[in-house]
């Protein structure tokens, strides 16, 4: 019953309407499905995803025939996939093809072990806490950058909700805040559109304006600058104005003083190491998170290096940046063992797979980025968190 009997990949559409892949895999009485998201503001060190057609072909013609009859075991199958691919960046088979298989194998393994997915994941990593911790919700409610035609200065403006103790409370609070934000933008007569991650977008050239709006509604905010997206000729071009690394750093320090900003992701371009280092030093006393995303790309070696050099104090985790679950869990463990926080993240092109909700609870991540509930592909992650909270209450009875 623990041998893979069937493995098949086919095309589905993501939240942007672009093609991606889903894998169906069976062992014994169990069948699972896994689908793979896609990013738009990608880091250059990310593993390479191939087109949906090519990755599906690679699964159905190369990977699947060799998987049939193999034991359902995430460690050995991930090792097998990495060596079958044979490249450093998974460009041969495609990181998206490999991840679809990897998630499916993990889901099957959890079913065979008769455990909820989050619980099974928790057995694969060393835990920092004895009790289950829910992630804080980092919810991108104002979309800018490449996710909304660069209308707002930075890529993502987020509410941070929850305290790790429960999940229904913060999700309800998110609904209320999102309605309030909509009302406020209407009163201010903003011409609003929806961005890629289900948040609002409007045109503003004023760096402080989004912070003013959000801080009137909630007292814990985060941003993802995605600094690499507007880095040209050694300058940061923010809504038509050019800033040096030092000037941009000064802007962040000022924002932290004026607004309840607790976390800044990718403040600079992925190779601007001095920018990261100086900002971490400057913001340490304020206990602000400096989060690596395009800088670290869920790559264990890059995370290790960035921690050693003091470039970050938190790490964004996106499984499709690296391609296997085993490497993703390693990236998380390295981060946690160094005493740093992880934030598990969706991509701007999402699918209906709720896997990252289980991953966030299973590893005890500090945060989860999953966008607003106004796109079905993001809402399923919140629905799954609510289900996990119920599963937990049942198991504690």
Tell me if 224 contacts Zn ion by CB under 5 A: yes
**Cα angle value 229/367/256 (rounded, 5°):** 60
Among 40, 57, 242, 341, which residue sits at the site for ligand PGA (rule: CB under 6 A)? 40
Cβ neighbours of residue 32 closer than 8 Å, sequence gap 6 or more:
24, 25, 26, 104, 107, 108, 111
Q: How far apart are the first and last CA of the chain?
A: 31
Residue numbers annotated as active site: 197, 318
CA distance 160 to 261: 9
Does 345 help bind ligand PGA (rule: CB under 6 A)? yes
Q: How far is the CB of 265 from ligand PGA (least distance, A)?
A: 6
d(CA 69, CA 271): 44
Handedness of CA 7, 8, 14, 19 (dihedral sign): positive
**Binding of ligand PGA by 293 (CB under 6 A):** yes
Pick the piece of the chain touching ligand PGA (CB under 6 A) from 52-60, 111-119, 235-243, 344-352.
344-352
**Shorter beta-carbon distance to ligand PGA: residue 111 or 347:** 347
State in angstroms the smallest separation of the CB of 146 from Zn ion. 10
Decide: 364 and 358 in contact? Cβ < 8 Å. Answer: no
Determine the Cα–Cα distance for residues 290 and 306; give it in Å rounded to an integer: 11
Contact segment (CB under 6 A) with ligand PGA among 33-41, 70-78, 101-109, 372-380 equals 33-41
Should residue 296 be labelled a site residue for ligand PGA when binding is judged by CB under 6 A? no
With beta carbons less than 8 A apart as the criterion, state whether 70 and 3 touch. Answer: yes
- Residue 351, phi then psi, degrees to nearest 5: -120, 180
**Which CB, 39 or 199, lies closer to ligand PGA?**
39
User: CA 122 from chain center: how many Å?
Assistant: 18
Binding mask 156-175 for Zn ion (x = CB under 5 A): --------------------
Using CB under 5 A as the binding rule, whether residue 293 contacts Zn ion is answered as yes
Q: Out of ligand PGA, Zn ion, none, which partner does residue 345 contact, by CB within 5 to 8 A per kind?
A: ligand PGA
What is the contact surface with ligand PGA in residues (CB under 6 A)? Answer: 39-42, 224, 226, 293, 345, 347-348
What is the contact surface with Zn ion in residues (CB under 5 A)? Answer: 224, 265, 293
């Amino acid at each position: 019953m623990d041998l893979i009997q069937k493995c098949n990949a086919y095309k589905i559409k993501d939240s942007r309407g672009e093609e991606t892949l889903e894998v169906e895999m069976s062992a014994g009485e169990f069948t699972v499905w896994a689908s793979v998201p896609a990013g738009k503001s990608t880091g250059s060190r990310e593993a390479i995803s191939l087109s949906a057609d090519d990755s599906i072909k690679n699964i159905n013609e190369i990977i699947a025939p060799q998987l049939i009859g193999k034991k359902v075991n995430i460690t050995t199958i991930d090792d097998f996939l990495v060596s079958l691919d044979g490249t450093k960046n998974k460009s041969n088979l495609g990181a998206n093809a490999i991840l679809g298989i990897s998630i499916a194998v993990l889901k099957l393994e959890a079913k065979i072990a008769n455990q909820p997915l989050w619980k099974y994941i928790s057995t694969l990593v060393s835990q920092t806490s004895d009790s289950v911790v829910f992630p804080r919700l980092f919810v991108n409610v104002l979309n800018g950058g490449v996710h909304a035609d660069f209308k707002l200065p930075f890529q993502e403006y987020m509410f941070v909700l929850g305290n790790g103790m429960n999940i229904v409370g913060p999700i309800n609070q998110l609904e209320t805040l999102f309605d309030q934000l909509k009302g406020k933008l209407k009163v201010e007569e903003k011409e609003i559109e929806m961005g890629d991650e289900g948040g609002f977008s409007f045109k503003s050239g004023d760096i402080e304006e989004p912070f003013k709006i959000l801080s009137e509604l909630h007292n814990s905010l985060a941003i993802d600058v995605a600094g690499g997206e507007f880095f040209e000729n050694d300058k940061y071009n923010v809504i038509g104005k050019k800033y040096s690394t030092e000037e941009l750093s000064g802007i962040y320090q000022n924002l932290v003083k004026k607004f309840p900003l607790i976390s800044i992701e990718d403040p600079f371009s992925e190779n601007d190491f001095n920018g990261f280092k100086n900002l971490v030093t400057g913001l340490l006393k304020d206990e602000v998170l400096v989060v690596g995303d395009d800088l670290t790309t869920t790559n264990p070696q890059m995370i290790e290096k960035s921690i050693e050099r003091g470039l970050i104090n938190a790490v964004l985790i996106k499984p499709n940046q690296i391609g296997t679950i085993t490497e993703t869990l390693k990236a998380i463990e390295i981060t946690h063992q160094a005493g740093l926080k992880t934030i598990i993240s969706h991509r701007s092109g999402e699918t209906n797979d709720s896997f990252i909700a289980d991953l966030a609870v299973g590893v005890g991540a500090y945060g989860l980025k999953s966008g607003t509930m106004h796109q079905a592909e993001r809402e399923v992650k919140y629905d799954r968190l609510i289900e996990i909270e119920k599963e937990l209450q049942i198991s504690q009875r």
